[in-house]
Structure 1
Amino acid sequence: MNALTSAQFATLAAMLDVEEARARAALGTGATPRAPLERQDPGDKTDVADREIGQRQADAMREHYRVELEDIAAARGRMTLGSYAICRECEEPIPFERLQAYPTAKRCTACQREHEQKRGGGF
């Protein structure tokens, strides 16, 4: 059972829209294909290391935004199915305040805390 009002639901849907647009824009800024490190002017070892670190950071950020977009799509799917704002563990409503802070939340705060303790901090 979903405990959100229609206004709260609309607010959260709009928040997901904003988050999706932000993630897509961030992905768009880093979408240029990278040149292999071997083809670049080798420079010294520091230059090569700096380029490699920069590329790894860019790759990590792209992965972060890709996962964020997957989470948003999953939240929208739960909205469509009527299971949004319901904890996947205890099946109790997820409070609106938690969803305002984290609109893609799959678990209530207590179940998320327990989940993180079992997995060593992972979401």
Structure 2
Amino acid sequence: MTTYHLDLGDNRTEALASVTKLTLVDIELDIDACLAGNYQAPVPLWGSVVLTRGALRDEATTEWVEDVGNTSTRQDAILVAGDPADPASPRVRLVAAWTSATYHLDEDDDPDAFAVSFADIAVER
């Protein structure tokens, strides 16, 4: 099982307990299948993904998550498969991402889970 980290830039990374429900243009995919594919299309592949936070939390991630639904907080977010310090670790760039109100904290069975919506996605190897 791959360990994923959320990278918000400037050395602000957080280990994730899980990455699930990756949806691209209304089609659900497995995150590992996304890493194996080439999701860099000539048109934006918008979508969402559900991230579940682990025990150690970064303050920048907490602030970003709590600003739910605020599309002015859009920024590129990167899901790193493996060690974030290793430049060879595959990365999934979520372009213009923001936390989504459709699946957030106490609104579901898992209070540590939140959804991230994004305008486009790119796999970086």
Q: Is the structural similarity TM-score above 0.5?
A: no
TM-score bracket for the superposition, by shorter chain length: under 0.3
**Between structures 1 and 2, the one with greater strand share:** 2
Determine which structure has more spread, i.e. the larger CA radius of gyration.
1
**Between structures 1 and 2, the one with greater helix share:** 1
